[in-house]
Structures are given as C-alpha cells and as structure tokens.
C-alpha cells in the first residue's frame, strides 16, 4: 500500500437541498441530505464501488483502489466497512491484487451470510497508453496474461476477513450479482473475457447474458441472453444491473453508448427467473451505469452517474415495478463534481427511509478521485 490514509466520514454540514430535478412543469421537493468522504488514498485514484449490508447492519463497500489513474496497471480490489451506519469507516483492506488491472468491484451479502466480491481484470492500459506503461507491461509474463484475464469472484464465509479461491463468474458487470427470493443468485453482465477495452471481439460474444448460481456463488452456469432488435448492434451494451420486483419479475437496466440513444439507460425484463428476456429498449433516463434496488415499500430505485454539467450522481424511482420511471422528479444526489470522472453510484436502504448512496468523484480541486457517500431521505410513496 502506498501510504494509504482514510478520512473517517469527513462530513459536510447537513442541509436541506433541492434533490428533485426541476423538469419543466415539475414542482421541486426539498429533501434532507448529507454528503461525506468515506476513503481517500492521497495521490492515488479510487473508482467503481459497490455497497452491501449484512444482516446485523454492517456496511461493506468494495472498490478498485490504490490506482495511479482511471486506466493503469495498478488496480487492487479493496474493502472498507462501517459498523455504525456509515458514520465512521475502517481503513481499506486489500482483497486481492492480481498481476493485471483489477477493476469494477461488485459486492453481495447472501442470505447465508456469505460475502461475494466480483471484478474483472484488464490489460486496457497497454493500448490506452502503451509508452507510459511499457515497463509495467514488461513485468507481466505470458503465463500471467493467460491465467488472469477474465471475470472473477471470491467468497468469504467470515464476514470478509478471509477469502476463498478465484472462481470464473462467466459474466462481469460493475455492481455484481443479486440474490432472488428462491435463493438463486443471478448475475446479469457481459459474456466475454476482456483483454482490453479495444480488443476485437465478435459481437455475438459481447451480448448481455444472465448467469446463475444455485450453490451460494461457488459455481455458475449460463442461463440466458438479452436480445436486441434487428439492426441494433449488441456491441454497445455493457455494465447492466438487475433487480427482482415484489411480484418476482426481473428488471434489468443496461448502459449503452451508441447513437441514436447515446447514454440513455436501456431496459429488459424477465418473467421466468432469467432464462428469457425481452428485447432491450431505451428508457428516457440519461446516465451510466445503473444500480438497482427494491425498497422496503416495493418501489424500485435506480442510481447512476451524470457525466454532463452539472456533473454528479442521480437516481430515479418507479412505483410500478419498472413499467414507468418518475423522471419528472429525478433525484439529484450530487451536482457539484468538477468533471465527468465520477459515478458508478450504488445505493442501500438503511433502517428507516434513509438511503445511503456511495460513488467516486473528486472531493477537492487538485486531488484525484476518492470514495464518497451521500445519505438522503426518500420522498414518501404517493
């Protein structure tokens, strides 16, 4: 670790802020929020976090940390935890550091108490800036490249203190799998191994796919694919997430970055537990990538980064199981980031109507990105 330092919940002053997006004709609603720093690694870069909550209320956040920058060879999958509802946080512990770049950490606590952490490994830095990382590339052997390129999962049965073997998760996505009411784990992600972000991959292998586990994450099998309409390239779809509605339907949302619907979230549904899916179709939600949860009152909440001015983190609610989204009252979690190097927010509901949304962005001018959070009050269900 390069002199890692944790800032324990450096809080902003609690304030009442207009969190609802004042779309034309909408009535703004003031909602209490509090934003704070969870972890800074001075001079280092943090990205792509996910949060989970244990049965006893402990909060766990997995992320890619101790990095030099957004694309580099040094990414490690790290973990911080809070036992007091997010007021204070532990120092980061490194779960693993493969010879490649470890990116996009997802985390899930299953009903059995098992902690699952997912991520993928990348060599994108070799094409992104080959001259800059020439010396680092030379240290990576051919055997390491063959062994470590892939989509990975590790399990912990002691609350994240120790970790088991490296398991091929088949698919990958930033925020990892979810658990269904029937005990199965569903992982909606990209069905490919990514050598680099620009590697030539046949479109058929870039499709969004669902994998399932029936043994608490020990093994995974491919379950079904998300189809796209004729004439729509599947190559632009990645970084999905999924949620189970109160009536058992699965709702998946997907990042897409191709015209004519650039940066709109797309949606798909499954009524048979993930075996078959509806054709992906665009929503009107502008952002990337999605993270979905079902609230205790049955509503769905999707969180996403907003990489255009005003830069920040946003969220949207659905009261009908994802059939419609209340974009007129889009929640502005943060709108004060200095640039678009931010996002991947993930949310968890606490004991009341408070939501904690975590994400990465720059805290102060001249600094690199850090791990941050905002706790905010849900608008009442109408």
Task: Provide the terminal-to-terminal Cα distance of the chain, rounded to the nearest Å.
Answer: 49
Asked if residue 262 has pLDDT above 80, the reply is no
d(CA 264, CA 238): 12
Q: What are phi and psi of 177, to 5 degrees?
A: -85, 175
Asked if residue 201 has pLDDT above 70, the reply is no
Look up residue 364 and give its two tokens: 């102060």
Q: What is the pTM of this model?
A: 0.91
Q: Which is higher by pLDDT, 78 or 201?
A: 78
d(CA 172, CA 240): 9
Chain length of the chain: 382
Nearest to 159 by CA among 85, 197, 109: 109
pLDDT at 19: 38
User: Hey, which residues does 211 pair with through a beta bridge?
Assistant: 187, 222
Per-residue model confidence as pLDDT tens digits over 136-190 = 999 999 999 999 999 999 999 999 999 999 999 999 999 999 999 999 999 999 9
Asked if residue 113 has pLDDT above 70, the reply is yes
CB 120 within 8 A of CB 151: yes
* Domain annotation covers residue 382: no
b/e burial code for range 194-216 (CB count within 10 A of at least 16 → b): bbbeeeeeeeeebbbbbbbbeeb
* Domain annotation covers residue 314: yes
CB 20 within 8 A of CB 38: no
3-state SS class at 347: strand
pLDDT band for position 3 (cuts 50, 70, 90): very low
Q: Residue range 85-108: average pLDDT?
A: 97
Q: What are phi and psi of 199, to 5 degrees?
A: -65, 135
Per-residue model confidence as pLDDT tens digits over 4-21 = 333 333 333 333 333 333
3-state SS class at 69: coil
* Domain annotation covers residue 43: yes
All residues at 6 or more sequence positions from 68 whose CB lies less than 8 Å from its CB, including other chains: 44, 45, 74
Q: Which of 1-15, 257-271, 364-378 has the lowest mean pLDDT?
A: 1-15
3-state SS class at 188: strand
- Write the DSSP symbol of residue 85: T
Nearest to 374 by CA among 340, 332, 339: 332
* Domain annotation covers residue 5: no
Percent of the chain's residues with pLDDT above 90: 81
CA 175 to chain centroid, in Å, comes to 3
pLDDT at 26: 44
* Domain annotation covers residue 237: yes
Asked if residue 106 has pLDDT above 70, the reply is yes
pLDDT at 203: 53
Tell me: cis bond preceding 185? Omega within 30 of 0 counts: no
* Domain annotation covers residue 3: no
All residues at 6 or more sequence positions from 163 whose CB lies less than 8 Å from its CB, including other chains: 95, 96, 117, 154, 155, 156
Q: Work out whether strand 281-286 and strand 264-270 pair parallel, antiparallel, or are unpaired.
A: antiparallel
pLDDT at 30: 56
What range does the domain containing 119 cover? 10-377
pLDDT, the chain, mean? 89
All residues at 6 or more sequence positions from 131 whose CB lies less than 8 Å from its CB, including other chains: none
3-state SS class at 208: strand
pLDDT at 196: 40
b/e burial code for range 158-169 (CB count within 10 A of at least 16 → b): eebeebeeebeb
3-state SS class at 154: strand
pLDDT band for position 199 (cuts 50, 70, 90): very low
CATH number for position 275: 2.120.10.10
CA 239 to chain centroid, in Å, comes to 8
3-state SS class at 327: helix
Asked if residue 2 has pLDDT above 50, the reply is no
Look up residue 28 and give its two tokens: 């703004």
pLDDT band for position 65 (cuts 50, 70, 90): very high
* Domain annotation covers residue 349: yes
**Total structural domains within the chain:** 1
Per-residue model confidence as pLDDT tens digits over 275-326 = 999 999 999 999 999 999 999 999 999 999 999 999 999 999 999 999 999 9
pLDDT band for position 259 (cuts 50, 70, 90): low
pLDDT at 100: 97
CA atoms within a 13 Å half-sphere pointing along the CA-CB vector of 343:
25
* Domain annotation covers residue 4: no
Judged by phi (left if over 0) then psi (alpha if -120 to 50, else beta), residue 223 lies in alpha
User: Hey, which residues does 367 pair with through a beta bridge?
Assistant: none
pLDDT band for position 193 (cuts 50, 70, 90): low
pLDDT at 12: 38
pLDDT at 20: 36
């Amino acid at each position: 670790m390069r002199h890692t330092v944790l800032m324990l919940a450096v809080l902003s002053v609690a304030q009442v802020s207009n969190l609802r997006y004042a779309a034309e004709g909408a009535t703004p609603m003031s909602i209490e929020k509090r934003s704070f720093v969870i972890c800074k690694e001075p001079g280092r870069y943090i990205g792509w976090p996910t949060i989970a909550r244990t049965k006893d209320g402990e909060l766990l956040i997995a992320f890619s940390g101790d990095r030099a920058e957004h694309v580099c060879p040094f990414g490690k999958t790290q973990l911080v935890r809070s036992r007091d509802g997010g007021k204070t946080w532990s120092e980061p512990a490194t779960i693993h550091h493969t010879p490649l770049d470890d990116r996009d950490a997802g985390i899930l606590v299953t009903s059995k108490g098992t902690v699952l952490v997912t991520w993928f490994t990348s060599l994108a830095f070799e094409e992104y800036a080959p001259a800059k990382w020439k010396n680092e590339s030379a240290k990576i052997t051919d055997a390491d490249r063959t062994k470590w390129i892939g989509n990975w999962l590790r399990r912990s049965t002691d609350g994240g203190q120790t970790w088991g073997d490296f398991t091929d998760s088949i698919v990958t996505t930033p925020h990892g799998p979810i658990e269904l009411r029937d005990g199965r784990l569903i992982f909606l992600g990209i069905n490919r191994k990514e050598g680099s972000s620009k590697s030539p991959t046949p479109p058929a292998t870039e499709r969004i796919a669902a994998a399932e586990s029936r043994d608490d994450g020990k093994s995974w099998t491919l379950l079904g694919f998300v189809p796209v309409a004729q004439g729509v390239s599947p190559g632009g779809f990645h970084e999905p997430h999924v949620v189970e509605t109160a009536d058992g339907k699965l709702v998946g949302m997907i990042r897409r970055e191709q015209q004519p619907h650039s940066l709109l979230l797309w949606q798909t549904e499954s009524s048979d537990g993930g075996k078959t899916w509806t054709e992906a179709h665009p929503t009107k939600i502008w952002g990337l990538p999605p993270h979905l949860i079902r609230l205790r009152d049955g509503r769905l909440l999707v969180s996403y980064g907003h990489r255009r001015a005003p830069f920040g983190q946003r969220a949207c609610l659905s009261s009908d199981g994802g059939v419609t989204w209340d974009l007129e009252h889009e929640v502005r979690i943060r709108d004060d980031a200095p640039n678009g190097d931010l996002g991947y927010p993930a949310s968890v509901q606490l004991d009341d109507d408070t939501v904690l949304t975590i994400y990465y962005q720059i805290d102060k001018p001249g600094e690199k990105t850090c791990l941050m959070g905002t706790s905010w009050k849900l608008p009442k269900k109408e």
